[in-house]
Amino acid sequence: MADWDGLRRGLEGAVTPPPLDALRARRRHRKQRRTIAVTCALALVGTASGMALLGQRDRDTSSGVVAKSTAINRVVHNERYTPPRADHDYIVTDFDFVGADTGWALGLRCVEDGCTTATWRTDDGGSTWGPEVVVARGVPRSSYTEQDPAGGGARSIRMVDAEEGFAFNPDLYVTHDGARTWTRVPQPSKVAGIQVAGRSVWVTERGCPVEDDCDVVVRTATLGRRPFAVADLLMPATIGSTLVRRAGERHGYLLTFDAAGGSPATLHRTADGGATWQPATNPCPDAVSAALSAGAGRPLLLVCSGEVDAEDRTLHRVPKQAFTSADRGTTWRALPAPPEAGELTDLTSVSATTAYATTLVPARLLVTTDGGATWEQAEGTAKSGYGYSNIDVSDARHAWAMGDQGVLWRTTDGTTWERLALPPDAAPATSTPPALATSRVPAAPADKDVRWTGLSFYDAAHGYAVGERCVAKTCRAVLRATGDGGRTWRVAPGPPGTWQTDEGRSANGVRSVTFADARNGWLYGDALVETHDGGLHWQNVGGYTGDVVARDGVVWALHYEGCASMFCGAWVGHGATTGGPLTGEAGADLVEHGSLAAVDATHAYLVDDGTYGGDDPKFRATADGGRTWARYPAPCPRAAWRTLSATAADDLRVLCGDSAAHFVARSRDGGATWRTARTGDEGGATFVAVSPDLAFRAGDRSVRVTRDGGATWRVMPGLDVTSPLQAFVVVDGTHAFALYEGGLLYGMSDGASWERLTRP
């Protein structure tokens, strides 16, 4: 078992603390400096596009392999800043590149108390940027001002490659598809840093704001694991400020400074991936600000500034100092310090001789090509302005630096720099990003213990399957997504909460699914929950729900309320698919057994067979978006309805009958009058009309099709099932999907036959 107490003592230093009044003076001076830094940061994010001082990234470009580390603390202590004012558009707070062309920017926009975080992608090195992709919306401002991960905020981005990446600080999100979608991974403490080497991930967590002295711990995780989880404790430390750097999978460094109790700054290193740590020589024992650059096969580069106690117990600032080590911190060689151009905000080495540094007030982008012996202003960059923040390097020739006022600086030859723009002011991309390499996406687990119950496709390629996993009598929802027509599936973030199988209807049992697009979806059954950010957040918006239909930017939901025994009142709620309350007045005289169909934003229909209570069958229609509902004759007199389908406002069909015989009732005047026609036996209980002539009937054994408006029906080939049908989805006349009990999934892609697909 690890000796954590001994490790803490080693990290904090075995020295006698200074007197109490000296400690108070030190903390007072620290608070004053941080107040200045906070003021600077507030001014910074108030600019038109703003920036955040996110600094200190290292890339290992040896052998063409990029291994990058993101800082866990800024060089200047300015993490506690307020989000931008409500009258600003998105302000980019971080960016990251995975090659000479492909990169992402992460931005923040706040309106009143709610903030939204989004990303943009570039595939031409930052010249143009694609549309925003929301990471999280509705994040309270306090998530940023109090550095509270519970609110869901993020202002840093770390992409490992073109598919895997993280958004963090203070909360944590993960993407497996190139930032097309994000999944929240809630953490108890602020996630201050992410470092990746190979498949190993180090996650640095901080338990309190940077102004206070508290625990900073490093935990481990595995890249690409689904669901992503932060698990084992790698190293705890009770210290004030921490830098964690990796130089490959085996080697890493832990630099602590400005520690609680006035302890000297310390440097520890590991050569076995963090299993054991040893002290290294620290040339900056009085550091209160530091930047460390490390990379596999490269010397360490350290720039620091400190403060010492004078005889009168006051603190004096030590100017910047620079050091390099070729033996992993055993010995150090002093270098000329970078120019006193302002607070250092980032330090990134490219090779043994080339490195970049940025400063704040005044702004400088500095470069050295002789291992730190001399530093010069980077050619072509501006010397005015407020400051530069983080640097990113993909190889010896390509690098980027973020400035204030939405400026991105880029070099493509390692020598001269050009000025570009960051979103939202940048030029929009005219081409779509490359398709996701599906071979790189791990398949979803087999989930043999999941009972799949619902299916939804919003186009021929993209869809969702929902099921329930039960342990004993406790169940929870399981959600899967596909982007290739059901051939492969990935884990999608589902709603939290459980329900009991022996309690009948509960507060959150959901077994059906409808998605309007990649971001807006609904799960329903005993409850109705919705997401408007691809599953990152779910909200309960209703009780027992029978149908959800999304058409033309409007979602319709058939709810049941006031249930007493078997009798319920029904109403239809409707609203924008992108979010907002579901409102409406509909069908209060309907009972529990009903079905809903909609053809657009204004026309919707309800059918009920009067099964419970012996009431007569009913049919209702609205042509004004649900404000009023007309009553029409029942389409299935003296027989149970099966499925309601509508292809247009004046073309409606209802499948009527029982297990022995079926017929279709059809209306060509919006439900005012009906005519019936037999469909034959063994037709199944699900009916979907695509056009006036084309329609499908699906059951437990077969799917039948008519292409002449119901005059003739034929069995479609390719199905070999005897299991109950769970869900049937028709996208268009060519593409359809059928889900059977046991997770059996079939798809139609030619309008004529079925093929077996991968189970969710």
**Sequence letter at residue 268:** H
Give bridge partners of residue 467 from the DSSP assignment. Answer: 452, 478
User: In sequence order, what E strands does 148-189 have?
Assistant: 154-159, 165-170, 172-175, 183-184
Whole-number Å distance between alpha carbons of 732 and 458: 10
Give bridge partners of residue 744 from the DSSP assignment. Answer: 740
Contact criterion met (CB below 8 Å) for 173 and 110:
no
- Enumerate residues 6+ apart whose C-beta is below 8 A from 64: none
pLDDT at 264: 80
**In sequence order, what DSSP letters do the residues of 408-444 get, joined into one string?**
EEEESSSSB-EEEE-TTTSEEPSSPPPPP-GGGSPPP
Going by DSSP bridges, is the β-strand pair 315-325/300-309 parallel, antiparallel, or unpaired?
antiparallel
For the record, the structure tokens of 264 come out as 């000297």
pLDDT at 114: 87
Whole-number Å distance between alpha carbons of 449 and 489: 16
Strand order in the sheet with 594-598: 594-598, 604-608, 618-622, 630-632
The CA dihedral of 712, 713, 714, 715, to the nearest 10 degrees, is: -170
Q: Which of 383, 553, 482 is nearest to 737 (CA)?
A: 482
Q: Is the dihedral angle over the CA atoms 531, 535, 539, 540 positive or is it negative? A: positive
Contact criterion met (CB below 8 Å) for 59 and 66:
yes
Whole-number Å distance between alpha carbons of 710 and 665: 11
- Residue 319: alpha-carbon gap to chain centroid: 42
Whole-number Å distance between alpha carbons of 105 and 84: 17
Count CA atoms closer than 13 A to 476's CA, side-chain side.
8
Q: Is the dihedral angle over the CA atoms 202, 533, 746, 738 positive or is it negative? A: positive
Whole-number Å distance between alpha carbons of 259 and 240: 4
Contact criterion met (CB below 8 Å) for 546 and 609:
no
Whole-number Å distance between alpha carbons of 683 and 30: 78
Count of helix runs (H) and strand runs (E) in the chain: 3, 60
Angle among Cα 436, 439, 445 to the nearest 5 degrees reads 105
Q: Which SS3 state, helix, strand or coil, does residue 557 take?
A: strand
Query: SS in 3 state form for 211-236?
Result: CCCEEEEEEEEECCCCCCCCCCEEEE
Contact criterion met (CB below 8 Å) for 321 and 291:
no
Query: What is the longest distance spanned by two Cα atoms in the chain?
Result: 103
CA distances for 64 relative to 61, 99, 223, 295, 396, angstroms = 5, 11, 20, 13, 10
For the record, the structure tokens of 663 come out as 């017929």
Going by DSSP bridges, is the β-strand pair 57-59/725-730 parallel, antiparallel, or unpaired?
unpaired
Question: Is 0.85 surpassed by the pTM of this model?
Answer: no
pLDDT at 58: 40
Whole-number Å distance between alpha carbons of 418 and 437: 32
User: In sequence order, what E strands does 422-553 have?
Assistant: 427-428, 450-457, 463-471, 474-482, 490-492, 499-500, 510-515, 521-525, 528-531, 539-542, 545-551
CA distances for 151 relative to 106, 155, 170, 223, 679, angstroms = 17, 13, 9, 24, 55
For the record, the structure tokens of 133 come out as 């992709």
For the record, the structure tokens of 566 come out as 């078997």
Contact criterion met (CB below 8 Å) for 239 and 256:
yes
Give the pLDDT means over successive 10-residue stretches in the chain (760 positions).
36 35 43 37 32 36 31 32 58 91 92 90 94 92 84 92 91 92 90 88 75 71 83 65 84 76 79 88 85 86 75 61 92 87 80 86 84 88 68 88 86 91 89 62 63 93 92 87 87 83 63 92 91 83 87 87 55 83 60 76 80 60 85 74 83 76 84 79 75 89 88 88 91 93 92 90
Q: Which SS3 state, helix, strand or coil, does residue 754 take?
A: coil
Whole-number Å distance between alpha carbons of 17 and 19: 7
For the record, the structure tokens of 326 come out as 């070729």
CA distances for 467 relative to 226, 343, 700, 743, angstroms = 17, 54, 19, 9
Contact criterion met (CB below 8 Å) for 268 and 15:
no
DSSP 40: H
The CA dihedral of 501, 504, 509, 511, to the nearest 10 degrees, is: 90
Contact criterion met (CB below 8 Å) for 169 and 156:
yes
Whole-number Å distance between alpha carbons of 460 and 98: 31
Q: What is the CA radius of gyration of the chain?
A: 31
Q: Which of 121, 118, 270 is nearest to 195 (CA)?
A: 270
The answer to whether the peptide bond before residue 279 is cis (omega within 30 degrees of 0) is: no
Instruction: Output phi, psi for 105, to 5 deg.
Output: -115, 145
Q: Which SS3 state, helix, strand or coil, does residue 667 take?
A: strand
Tens-place pLDDT, residues 419-457: 999 998 899 988 777 766 544 444 556 667 899 999 999
Contact criterion met (CB below 8 Å) for 480 and 492:
yes
Residue burial 464-501, b: 16+ Cβ < 10 Å; e: rest: bbbbbeeeeeebbbbbbbbbbbbebbbbbbbbebbbee
Whole-number Å distance between alpha carbons of 134 and 117: 6
Contact criterion met (CB below 8 Å) for 253 and 261:
no
Whole-number Å distance between alpha carbons of 96 and 178: 12
